[in-house]
């Protein structure tokens, strides 16, 4: 029983920390308790433990809590040690120079995906992304190209869950999403306009690990008026080559999705 209780307590602490990977930067006791279905007393104890260790700090303005220096140190260490990020960054730099737009690398995480890093466009008007924030898998190109290549049961778990609208252009109809994902598996890339961020457009391709598991995505993104149909046609072969190079650096020996008959059931 002690082990079970200890596991439950650890899970609650982890769940509280994970709330800070998306949503507002500062969260109060009531909001945390409501989202996790915990009592305020339990949340207070968890927050006290996390603040004592520097993982969270009290925010005097909002009277809530935000991530602290110890959490920042953990995040920085995770980025430094990320094999996916390490394999992707040289490729992203080349891709940025070839496209003149911002390039990004995302990793799949429980409940969605996060941007690990970006190489920003040198143009005055450009798109930038929020590194480390968790985004859902049903909206925008990096998310949907990861979702498309997940095993069917994992894909269905997302499609039958909450499909929140991030903008007025977010696709939330399940059947429309299924059709879109089938197309992504067929062509090997995803594209979007204004689905996650109004006025932005992107094209993304999946990245695979040595065992063929989709672990992330590479994208090219910028203002929608620049990342138009003509630009997308130019970016797709560059993006496919970049994603293939990163996948092979991770040990993947299969073919390009959508071009060589890779399994996509």
Chain centroid, CA 96 distance in Å: 19
Decide if pLDDT at 113 tops 70.
Answer: yes
Decide if pLDDT at 2 tops 50.
Answer: no
Decide if pLDDT at 4 tops 80.
Answer: no
Strands 190-193 and 112-119: unpaired
Q: In CATH, what number does 2-73 get?
A: 1.10.10.10
Show me where the domains of the chain are located.
2-73, 82-249
| pTM of this structure | 0.76
Say which CATH topology domain 82-249 has.
Beta-Lactamase (3.30.450)
Q: For 166-204, how does the pLDDT look when each residue is reduced to its tens digit (9 = 90+)? A: 998 999 999 999 999 999 999 999 999 999 888 999 999
Q: For 68-98, how does the pLDDT look when each residue is reduced to its tens digit (9 = 90+)? A: 888 877 777 776 667 899 999 999 999 999 9
Given this model, what pLDDT does residue 104 score?
97
Decide if pLDDT at 152 tops 50.
Answer: yes
Closest CA to 140 of 197, 195, 76, 218: 195
Decide if pLDDT at 5 tops 80.
Answer: no
């Amino acid at each position: 029983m002690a082990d079970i209780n200890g596991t439950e307590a650890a899970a609650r602490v982890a769940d509280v920390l994970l709330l800070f990977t998306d949503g507002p930067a500062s969260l109060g006791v009531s909001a945390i308790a409501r989202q996790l279905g915990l009592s305020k007393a339990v949340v207070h104890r968890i927050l006290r433990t996390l603040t004592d260790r520097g993982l969270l700090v009290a925010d005097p303005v909002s009277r809530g809590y935000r991530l602290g220096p110890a959490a920042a140190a953990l995040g920085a260490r995770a980025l430094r040690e990320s094999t996916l990020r390490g394999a992707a960054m040289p490729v992203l730099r080349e891709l940025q120079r070839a496209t003149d737009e911002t390039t990004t690398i995302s990793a799949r995480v429980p409940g969605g995906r996060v941007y690990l890093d970006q190489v920003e466009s040198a143009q005055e008007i450009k798109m930038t992304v929020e590194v480390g924030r968790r985004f859902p898998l049903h909206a925008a190109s990096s998310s949907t190209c990861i979702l498309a290549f997940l095993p069917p049961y994992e894909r269905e778990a997302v499609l039958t869950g909450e499909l929140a609208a991030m903008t007025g252009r977010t696709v939330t109809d399940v059947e429309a999403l299924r059709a879109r994902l089938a197309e992504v598996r067929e062509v090997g890339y995803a594209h979007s306009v204004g689905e996650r961020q109004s006025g932005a457009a992107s094209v993304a391709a999946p990245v695979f690990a040595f065992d063929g598991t989709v672990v992330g995505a590479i994208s090219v993104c910028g203002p929608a008026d620049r990342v138009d149909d003509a630009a997308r046609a130019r970016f797709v072969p560059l993006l496919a080559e970049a994603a293939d190079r990163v996948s092979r650096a991770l040990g993947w020996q299969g073919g390009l999705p959508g071009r060589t008959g890779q399994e996509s059931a």
